[in-house]
Amino acid sequence: MDLVVSASHRGRPREFCTENALAAALAVFWRKGYEGASLSDLTDAMGISRPSLYAAFGNKEALFRQALDLYEREKMAYVGEALAQPTARGVAEYMLMGALERQTSVCDPRGCLGVVSAMQCGDEAQAIRSEVQARGAAANEALIARFERAKIDGDVPPTADAGGLARLLYAVMQGLAMQASAGATAAELRSLVDTALQCWPTR
């Protein structure tokens, strides 16, 4: 049990940047999903060999989890900002506009890593599926809590269903991601978001 974690670089130093490699892996998972991304796809995009991948990241599942962390940290930051908006409508606006901006970005893949990976049903990927679904459920819970608070704030009518509003908003965002990855144009996605915001209550 060697617990020496000293950063003294003994032995040959690695020849690639793990952060860049992880970003490349994220792009592959994002485009193809967890099971759709083969190790050859990953190593090709990362520019490293299979043993290097296993030495640096553990295995495919661990690599995916790290890519998912990076994705949430860098690409889903707007969700946290949305929850901090002062009104329920502001939350919905920030969420939908953030999602629209993300889905119409020209440099990132279409679709949502969480959405595409949560739909994978392979027998072996059940753990991944559960993990992604758990993270989505946590975000949904945060949305519900935010709308509950909005009821107290008088921000939405006290008869409103906070859980229903949260799940509806979440469903629209999931559908937005699906239609984006199905090839909808930016104008079509924008019309979807605009209409959703026109329909959103308590303007």
> Which residues sit at the interface with DNA, rule CB under 7 A?
8-16, 35, 37-41, 48-52, 54-56, 59-61
142: partner contacted, choices its own copies, DNA, none (Cβ within 5-8 A by kind):
none
Report CA-CA distances (Å) from 111 to 31, 44, 184, 189.
8, 22, 10, 12
Find the shortest distance in angstroms from Cβ 53 to DNA: 7
Residue 2's identity, in one-letter code, is: D
Return the DSSP state at 12. Answer: P
Return the DSSP state at 124. Answer: T
Binding residues vs its own copies (CB under 8 A) = 31-33, 35-36, 115-116, 118-123, 133, 136-137, 160-161, 163-165, 167-168, 170-176, 178-179, 181-184, 188-189, 191-192, 194-196, 198-201
Nearer to its own copies among residue 85 and residue 181 (C-beta): 181
DSSP state letters, 97-127: HHHHHHHT-SSS-SS-HHHHHHT---STTHH
61: partner contacted, choices DNA, its own copies, none (Cβ within 5-8 A by kind):
DNA
DSSP state letters, 25-45: HHHHHHHH-TTTS-HHHHHHH
201: partner contacted, choices DNA, its own copies, none (Cβ within 5-8 A by kind):
its own copies
Find the shortest distance in angstroms from Cβ 75 to DNA: 22
Nearer to its own copies among residue 127 and residue 137 (C-beta): 137
Q: Which of 189, 147, 194, 197 is nearest to 167 (CA)?
A: 147
20: partner contacted, choices DNA, its own copies, none (Cβ within 5-8 A by kind):
none
